[in-house]
Amino acid sequence: MGTNIERIAEHEPDGYVELNEAGEVTYANPQASLYLGLLPHELAAHPFFLDLTQSVYRFEPAEAWSNWPNALADDQPARHLVRPESGSVPALWLRVETVAPKDQNAGVLLRLRDVTEQIAFQRELWKFHSLLSHKLLTPMKGLLSSLEALTGADAPAAAETREFASTAMSCAQRLHAQIQDVLQAVNTPSLSEESGPPLVISELPDVANRLAQTLGIYSITTQIEPALSPFRLPWNSATLRTVLTEIFENSKKFHPQHMPTVQIDATARDDSLVVIQVTDNGTTVAPERLAQVWRPYYQDERSTNRTEEGIGLAMVASLVWEKGGVCRILPRQREAGVIVELTLPLAA
């Protein structure tokens, strides 16, 4: 790196790292050294970038790192280094951007940008959108359908009118209560600071069944490995509902008749992990696109299938990654549909 560029980088709030063609760090500005835990005498030994990062950070999304150390292509999702939260240490998101691309005779200059606040903001918007959709739109639909029946060309008889009016009043009262809930949520400092302890896994069926009924999913079963029952998820009930809402809505949206059958299985792995699989019988994702559905706003331009998942699954992935977990979407072997698999550490 040229001396003038080094002088500028020394005072930049972003981290800058120069790698040689072998992937060794030949320069790191103070902010990058802080992110990487790199001491001056260690830099002189030209440590490998991946060796510095892999003990602290997770490489997400995984498919974006599969061709490392090639330069980022325009149509690829951004690479992130994610430090999962641990105890009182919050999660950290670093976006890894190529400033000077790699060629045959030179290394590459990377910028490490802290995007933790941006990720959190996107998640707040997503949660707020979900909050509005389910607390306001559902009673509004009931209110509108009742009023349409009362005012339509084929107006009902007096007894039926009272019944429709009663339904409309019930929906209006519910809508009023939900609006109060939304306003209270807006006045909360952060939607991510949801109160409540980590959820006991034995409560998973109750949370899932209640949510499914609200979303109009009437065929759902849940199986929990008995040994898991007393353990806790790393999420509270509100976060779990937010995650399941996104998964259930996609199951319903991409089912041919919008009436999916959903199966939830929770199993233990390695005494410290829980694997939650949500299986549906809707459409199937093409194998070559399975990893891409975690990308924000990913859409397959050649079809209107399940790759149009939007930002929701990307936000689900962010919640999983921040806990040090893994998320996958798998095709069912002999039937239509997919399996959304979330692997999470058990809460202490």
Q: Locate the domains of the chain by residue range.
A: 3-114, 118-186, 201-345
- Give the pLDDT score at 300: 43
b vs e for 302-339, b when ≥16 Cβ sit within 10 Å of the residue's Cβ? Answer: eeebbbbbbbbbbbbbbbbbbbbbbbbbeeeeeeebbb
- Give the pLDDT score at 126: 77
The answer to whether residues 196 and 238 touch, using CB atoms and an 8 Å cutoff, is yes
How many angstroms separate the CA atoms of 68 and 279, rounded? 32
- Give the pLDDT score at 238: 87
- Give the pLDDT score at 181: 59
CB neighbourhood size of 22 (10 A): 11
Tell me which residues of the chain have a pLDDT lower than 50. Answer: 72-74, 104, 188-193, 297-304, 306-310
* CATH fold of 201-345: Heat Shock Protein 90 (3.30.565)
Tell me the CA distances in angstroms from 54 to 39, 58, 60, 247, 317, one per residue in order.
17, 6, 11, 30, 19
Which residue is listed with tokens 């325009």?
74
Do the first three CATH levels of 3-114 and 201-345 match, i.e. the same topology? Answer: no
If DSSP states are collapsed to H, E and C, what string results for the chain?
A: CCHHHHHHHHCCCCEEEEECCCCEEEEECHHHHHHHCCCHHHHCCCCEHHHHHCCCCEEECHHHHCCCCCCCCCCCCCEEEEECCECCECCEEEEEEEEECCECCECEEEEEEECHHHHHHHHHHHHHHHHHHHHHHHHHHHHHHHHHHHHCCCCCCHHHHHHHHHHHHHHHHHHHHHHHHHHHHHCCCCCCCCCCCCCEHHHHHHHHHHHHHHCCCCEEEEEECHHHCCCECCCCHHHHHHHHHHHHHHHHHCCCCCCCEEEEEEEEECCCEEEEEEECCCCCCCHHHCHHHHCCCCCCCCCCCCCCCCHHHHHHHHHHHHCCCEEEEEECCCCCCEEEEEEEECCC
- Give the pLDDT score at 303: 43
**Tokens matching residue 95:** 């976006």
Question: Amino acid letter at 281?
Answer: N
Q: Peptide bond before 156: cis, by omega within 30 degrees of 0?
A: no
- Give the pLDDT score at 40: 79
The answer to whether residues 217 and 248 touch, using CB atoms and an 8 Å cutoff, is yes
CATH of domain 3-114: 3.30.450.20
Q: What angle do CA 327, 328, 329 make, to 5 degrees?
A: 140
Q: What angle do CA 59, 245, 308 make, to 5 degrees?
A: 65
pLDDT tens digit sequence for 272-288: 999 999 999 998 777 66
pLDDT tens digit sequence for 1-10: 555 566 667 7
